[in-house]
Amino acid sequence: MSEMLFTAAIARTIAEEMRRDPSVFVMGEDVGVIGGIYGASKGLLEEFGRERIRQTPISEAGFVGAGLGAACTGMRPIVELMYMDFTFVAMDQILNQVAKTRYVFGGKAKIPLVIRGQQGVGGGNAATHSQSVESLFLNIPGLKIAVPSTAADAVGLLRTAIRDDNPVLFFEHKKLYKGGKWEVPDDPEYMIPFGKADIKRQGTDVTVVATQFYVGEALKAAEELAKEGISVEVVDPRTLYPLDIDTICESVKKTGHLVTVHEACAVGGWGSEIESQVMDRVFRYMDAAPIRVGAKQCPLPFNPNLEKAVVPQIPDIVAACKRVLSK
């Protein structure tokens, strides 16, 4: 184990994979000299040079599409988006091309493409650079979606993503970048399979499903609730597609209560999807309708206090747990 920043863990994992496999390369904005604006590609240019660390013009559709073209012709590109909000600029390439190529061509192509970057509030960047956008992609078949909540999980999931022969959208959270140093396993083969949830805290009264930054917030809420005798189980799915619905359902069968927490808007978010799947499967074990905790249906404002008012806070999670328990 080593201690390092989240971004350093990402950069180290990419470097390890690039050393292992010459077909792995990085493409994206500002990945060169400055190593990405948050430093998640730091040091890569020095080691691998301009041929494999390709800093692009600000042309998200162009270089995401080029990533697809390279992926289906024998390379394993890691495309870095400066902000995952910028997926919107490349939406046709991601949704119409990347996601569908293998299927519409009758299963002939492999698409070993990773599109990664950070998202979320915490940068003071307002509406177009602070969104959590992972839920949108869940509605398009053909994309795997990873949402790590710790640097160790990020390392294991990123390695799996790079070695996967399918397109993976890899969402990091900028608040985790700023979360100090993390314990990270040093094994260059450390991998976490997709579709395997991690129970971050065991509990018996209510199941809280959260991802990314909000796993930590849910754990803090659980501490508070424990003081009141409420036992919270925090389940981190780690990938939204494929989704480990079995682990979530087993937890709900035990607790009878489900709360989903994410930074993205509650309306149409993945929390709704998980709640629906849980009700499909284990409705008879549920003691109350599940509750979504998510952002208000509102673009993210600039003012820090306004921003805080839009996205969920720990007291919101605490309140949701109590409400689902009719307490």
Residue numbers annotated as active site: 60, 129
The site map against other proteins for 265-294 (x = CB under 8 A) is: ------------------xxxxxx------
Q: Which of 3, 46, 47, 165 binds other proteins (CB under 8 A)?
A: 165
Binding residues for other proteins, total number by CB under 8 A: 52
Taking the complex as a whole, the smallest distance from the CB of residue 320 to other proteins amounts, in Å, to: 12
Taking the complex as a whole, the smallest distance from the CB of residue 176 to other proteins amounts, in Å, to: 27
Query: 3-state SS of the chain?
Result: CEEEEHHHHHHHHHHHHHHHCCCEEEEECCCCCCCCCCCCCCCHHHHHHHHHEEECCCCHHHHHHHHHHHHCCCCEEEEECCCHHHHHHHHHHHHHHHCCHHHHCCCCCCCCCEEEEEECCCCCCCCCCCCCCHHHHHCCCCCEEECCCCHHHHHHHHHHHHHCCCCEEEEEEHHHHCCCEEEECCCCCCCCCCCCCEEEECCCCEEEEECCHHHHHHHHHHHHHHHCCCCEEEEECCEEECCCHHHHHHHHHHHCCEEEEEEEECCCCHHHHHHHHHHHHHHHHCCCCCEEEEECCCCCCCCHHHHHHHCCCHHHHHHHHHHHCCC
The yes or no reply on residue 144 touching other proteins (CB under 8 A) is yes
Taking the complex as a whole, the smallest distance from the CB of residue 25 to other proteins amounts, in Å, to: 7
Judged by CB under 8 A, the chain residues 231 through 250 that form the site for other proteins are: none
Neighbours of 296 (CB within 10 A): 13
Q: Which two tokens stand for residue 314?
A: 């720990």
The yes or no reply on residue 203 touching other proteins (CB under 8 A) is no
- CB nearer to other proteins: give 122 or 290: 290
Taking the complex as a whole, the smallest distance from the CB of residue 254 to other proteins amounts, in Å, to: 11
The yes or no reply on residue 69 touching other proteins (CB under 8 A) is yes
Taking the complex as a whole, the smallest distance from the CB of residue 143 to other proteins amounts, in Å, to: 9
The yes or no reply on residue 226 touching other proteins (CB under 8 A) is no
Q: Which of 34, 105, 193, 296 binds other proteins (CB under 8 A)?
A: 105
Q: Are 72 and 101 in contact (CB under 8 A)?
A: yes
Q: Which of 5, 10, 72, 161 binds other proteins (CB under 8 A)?
A: 72
Return the residue matching tokens 């177009």. 128
Q: Which of 63, 170, 177, 270 binds other proteins (CB under 8 A)?
A: 63
Judged by CB under 8 A, the chain residues 22 through 61 that form the site for other proteins are: 25, 51-52, 54, 56-57, 59, 61
Q: Are 55 and 30 in contact (CB under 8 A)?
A: yes
Q: Which stretch binds other proteins (CB under 8 A): 100-108, 147-155, 206-214, 230-238?
A: 100-108
- Write the single-letter amino acid at 184: V
- CB nearer to other proteins: give 51 or 305: 51
Nearest to 127 by CA among 300, 303, 307, 296: 300
Taking the complex as a whole, the smallest distance from the CB of residue 70 to other proteins amounts, in Å, to: 4
- CB nearer to other proteins: give 67 or 156: 67
The yes or no reply on residue 326 touching other proteins (CB under 8 A) is yes
φ/ψ of residue 24, rounded to 5: -80, 130
Taking the complex as a whole, the smallest distance from the CB of residue 191 to other proteins amounts, in Å, to: 14
Residues that bind other proteins (CB under 8 A): 25, 51-52, 54, 56-57, 59, 61-75, 77, 92-93, 96-97, 101-111, 141-142, 144, 165-166, 256, 283-288, 323, 326
